[in-house]
Amino acid sequence: MTTSSESPESQDSEPLNFKNYSILQPLGIGNFGAVSLILTRKSKKYAMKELFLEENEENDPFEEFENHFLVSSSAHPNILKMYKMSNDDEDGICRFFMEYVDSGNLFERIQENLENGFSEKLALKFYRQLIFGLEHIHGMGIAHLDIRPENLMLTRDDTLKISDFGLSVRFKDRNGLPMLVETSGSALYRSPECRKCALIDGPKSDIFSSGVVLVEMLNGCYPWEEATVTDVNYKKWLDGIGDMGWKNAGEQVMGFETLYNLIYKILLAELWSTHYEDTKPAAFLRKILSDDLEKRATILEIKLDGWFQQQNYSNPENSRKRKIARNEQSEKRTKLATILTI
């Protein structure tokens, strides 16, 4: 038996069913399903996400659809549009029909800029859109809980759209009062409280994840493997709150890390301290990556921050320092490669 739901918008324009499209190409595949580009009879392109129900028992596809549909129903520019869902009992697959964007995702864009990272101007452009999207999502009483570059889609004009609500949850009760939610998310991006508590503040956890994404955009790589005191880079971040720390990350782990990982972490730490110490982005990051929930910036505080408000922010001196730091990093990478081949 097949059941389906669709948005009023799709009913008014072009009703979607499962007999009027062809699959053009795969767009991605994961543990629980796949995403494909499809073409309707009216030559309209959509993204179709297929979830294998037997392999996806922990996550409720109906809840994912309801949450995604709710936040995209008002056509917010920074939310990927959800159109329709179909649940086919015969093949055990749940299908979502969604907006298709033609320029991949933020992860792919970062991979193209691993050496230097984004300029502050471009990183801020994307980050502002991420925050506006999160503001809308949280305003609907939903926490995303899986904010990471792979789930941030991009259009040709660099409009960022939040997608994949598979881990999203509602954080308000029937009376509209906030409540804590179960921990979730990727280790690279989730907040430190996810390792400490069974229940967390969903919106504040999303904000922390957004900060890790911002670091990755600016730096070309993520700052730590997980926000826990057992992670050497995160521990240095905690110890250095106020002066940016991370300058000698890795010096205490000779007995536990390979030489390659040790040197890599030291290079990353030196690049960070040279790249952003005493700059506006660094001060901004202190606010959103705080491990203290009371001190972690809210979306309102983020929007009022001076660095965030400067859409075309560009500091020539900071740009000069970054160029020098990148050249030094390139030289160190060359030396590292020589050492590792000896």
Length of the chain: 342
Cα–Cα distance for residue pair 232/45, rounded to 1 Å = 45
Helix (H) or strand (E) holding 49: strand 45-52
Question: Tokens in use for 289?
Answer: 């990556």
Question: Tokens in use for 129?
Answer: 């859109």
According to the annotation, is 49 in a ligand binding site? Answer: yes
Over the Cα atoms of the chain, what is R_g? 21
Nearest to 188 by CA among 219, 152, 149, 161: 149
Cα–Cα distance for residue pair 158/119, rounded to 1 Å = 14
Q: How far is CA 291 from CA 110, 223, 225, 227, in A?
A: 25, 15, 16, 9
Residue 58 φ then ψ, to 5°? -70, -30
Cα–Cα distance for residue pair 274/324, rounded to 1 Å = 9
Residue 159 exposed, middle or buried by CB count within 10 Å (0-12, 13-18, 19+): middle
Cα–Cα distance for residue pair 20/26, rounded to 1 Å = 18
Rounded to a whole number, what is the distance in angstroms from the first to the last CA of the chain? Answer: 63
Cα–Cα distance for residue pair 248/265, rounded to 1 Å = 8
Sequential DSSP letters for 194-211: HHH-SEE-HHHHHHHHHH
Tell me the binding residues for ATP: 49
Q: Which residues are annotated as a binding site?
A: 49
